[in-house]
Copies of this chain bind each other. A is one copy, B any other.
């Protein structure tokens, strides 16, 4: 592509409304442009990258004999009502009425339609297994879109679905996708970890996530300082390893604690630490009010709560509701005498004489023990913390941040049962089909690569997904020798079908070099003063080392890179 005859731009200034390195660099390099909150145009330079990512994914899916199809995004709402997921998605799903007032949604994921598609195939056990996938646009009305392409409301996803006759078949199909994903993320040059995760709204038996390690990652990836344990923060168990407090149980007592509302203030008031507290958090879970008690130095893990209560949504209860169940101002909830069901974290069973809210304004209760209240259930409710004990080897856990670029789910028979996908087995009996589903977010991959591959000058694309592998930069548009050498090199590439960038603009060399660095072209040939001697300068974006090459050497390099 000749830059002088193309649509091309870069921005000198940092993007004002972007909150991550990748989004800033992608906007500045003219790869993307925001159109509204969490929605972007993929501009020509960015589309080249995105198409290359798409091709890598398609190649690896096809290599596993998955078959590509294409689903609509506009789906009758009924379809999600039938599967029971309409509520689970809630307001994360865009919905609309058509001109005849029929309800539609914009598909956030396509288990339902793939199950319908699968029902067209033969229904004998002999007709399995198979794997269907698409690379298609998804819609999710995120509460808080952010980090550029990382959390958006419209994005391209590769979603694949496997169909097997039993759990062993599903295991095999799952492993194929596991392998394909490793190849895909390796080819994208991502530094990633594979972690076990919550199955969430998808339902199912097992879920693993591919987490690209990054400071801006919204997921905490839990690892171990010693073994290969890795897991998503949401599902990592807090081991029940606390020792029983040997103290004598004292009698509980309500104490007036004026001006002490935060846990730190109350601790100061009593001369105790937050460890001696039990926090009581009042939540509305699927519309009902519950209290959750956890040690004062811990955080509640909402995923564990939702799972334990088989619930879809939870949020802190309203002030009115807290006041109703505690009969007190907000800030004084405690498990003793509260007017709603109480769930207790299992670590509390080892604590004695702890401090809680008294369900009375400006009062706390001290010397509380488990015998003083009746939780409906005692279980693991807490978020794991860095330094906690590894569930596998009992050494210490360490935390990383990750961007979820892909995931694998063993769905089992959840969707085949609700969507009525059965087959006839060898004994002529109807059996539900076993399904798996496998997703990759394409724009998110693109952003994750930039988060991991950049420097102060701009993006450093891995070769395989760079918009152009090679740029030819001509220093002066007036020097005859330079014109001759540069256009000979370019014509050579055109004749061979090599897609190189030829910067033939009337711009200062500094501007051209800066642009090529910003947009992350891996290799650059500079055609400058020594063109008259048949010498060009070569520089690699990966190590910044410069060397001189003769024209034949340069052409040989091009041949190698474009094979």
In the bound complex, do residue B43 and residue A68 qualify as a contact, i.e. CB atoms below 8 Å apart?
no
Q: A130 an interface residue at 8 Å Cβ cutoff? A: yes
Q: A498 an interface residue at 8 Å Cβ cutoff? A: no
Question: What residues on B are CB-neighbors of A67 within 8 Å?
Answer: 6-7, 44
In the bound complex, do residue B6 and residue A130 qualify as a contact, i.e. CB atoms below 8 Å apart?
yes
A-B pairs, top 5 by smallest CB distance, nearest first, are A96-B96, A42-B70, A44-B67, A7-B130, A91-B99
Interface-facing stretch out of A114-122, A260-268, A451-459: A114-122
In the bound complex, do residue B47 and residue A68 qualify as a contact, i.e. CB atoms below 8 Å apart?
yes
Binary per-residue interface labels of chain A (78-107) against chain B in the complex, 1 for a CB within 8 Å, 0 otherwise = 010000000000010011101100101010
In the bound complex, do residue B6 and residue A153 qualify as a contact, i.e. CB atoms below 8 Å apart?
no
A67 to B7, CA, bound (A): 8
In the bound complex, do residue A96 and residue B95 qualify as a contact, i.e. CB atoms below 8 Å apart?
yes
Interface-facing stretch out of A28-36, A276-284, A309-317, A408-416: A28-36
Q: A39-B74, A76-B35, A137-B137 are in contact. Are A44 and B91 (CB under 8 A)?
A: no
User: Chain B: which residue is nearest A122 at the CB level?
Assistant: B9
Q: A143 an interface residue at 8 Å Cβ cutoff? A: yes
Binary per-residue interface labels of chain A (33-77) against chain B in the complex, 1 for a CB within 8 Å, 0 otherwise = 101110111111011101100000000000001011111111110
Question: What residues on B are CB-neighbors of A46 within 8 Å?
Answer: 69
**A300 CB, nearest partner CB in chain B, Å:** 25
In the bound complex, do residue A120 and residue B30 qualify as a contact, i.e. CB atoms below 8 Å apart?
yes
Question: What residues on B are CB-neighbors of A143 within 8 Å?
Answer: 99
Interface SS of A by simple majority: mixed
Q: A8 an interface residue at 8 Å Cβ cutoff? A: yes
Q: Which residue from B104, B120, B141 sits with its C-beta under 8 Å from A9?
A: B120
Question: What residues on B are CB-neighbors of A118 within 8 Å?
Answer: 7
A559 to B23, CA, bound (A): 47
Question: What residues on B are CB-neighbors of A5 within 8 Å?
Answer: 65, 130
A477 to B132, CA, bound (A): 26
Question: What residues on B are CB-neighbors of A50 within 8 Å?
Answer: 70
Q: A154 an interface residue at 8 Å Cβ cutoff? A: yes
Q: A41-B69, A44-B67, A121-B7 are in contact. Are A74 and B154 (CB under 8 A)?
A: yes
Question: What residues on B are CB-neighbors of A33 within 8 Å?
Answer: 116-117, 120
Besides A42-B69, A42-B70, A74-B139, 16 other A-B contacts (C-beta < 8 A): A5-B65, A6-B130, A7-B132, A30-B120, A35-B79, A35-B113, A36-B104, A41-B69, A41-B70, A44-B68, A44-B132, A46-B69, A48-B68, A74-B153, A98-B141, A98-B153
A68 to B7, CA, bound (A): 10
User: Chain B: which residue is nearest A155 at the CB level?
Assistant: B72
User: Chain B: which residue is nearest A10 at the CB level?
Assistant: B120
User: Chain B: which residue is nearest A114 at the CB level?
Assistant: B41
User: Chain B: which residue is nearest A156 at the CB level?
Assistant: B70
A8 to B132, CA, bound (A): 11
A439 to B430, CA, bound (A): 48
Binary per-residue interface labels of chain A (291-313) against chain B in the complex, 1 for a CB within 8 Å, 0 otherwise = 00000000000000000000000
Question: What residues on B are CB-neighbors of A76 within 8 Å?
Answer: 35-36
A106 to B105, CA, bound (A): 12
Binary per-residue interface labels of chain A (114-142) against chain B in the complex, 1 for a CB within 8 Å, 0 otherwise = 00111011100000001010000101010
Question: What residues on B are CB-neighbors of A73 within 8 Å?
Answer: 73, 137, 154
Question: What residues on B are CB-neighbors of A43 within 8 Å?
Answer: 69, 117, 120
In the bound complex, do residue B8 and residue A121 qualify as a contact, i.e. CB atoms below 8 Å apart?
yes
In the bound complex, do residue B70 and residue A47 qualify as a contact, i.e. CB atoms below 8 Å apart?
yes
A139 to B106, CA, bound (A): 12
In the bound complex, do residue B94 and residue A74 qualify as a contact, i.e. CB atoms below 8 Å apart?
yes
**A171 CB, nearest partner CB in chain B, Å:** 18
Identify 15 residue pairs between A and B in the complex whose beta-carbon atoms are under 8 Å apart, listed by A's number: A6-B65, A7-B130, A7-B132, A9-B122, A30-B120, A33-B117, A33-B120, A35-B72, A35-B113, A36-B102, A41-B71, A41-B116, A47-B69, A74-B154, A94-B96
Q: Which of A9, A37, A120 has the most CB of B within 10 A?
A: A120
User: Chain B: which residue is nearest A117 at the CB level?
Assistant: B41
**A270 CB, nearest partner CB in chain B, Å:** 43
User: Chain B: which residue is nearest A71 at the CB level?
Assistant: B41
Q: Which of A104, A113, A122 has the most CB of B within 10 A?
A: A104
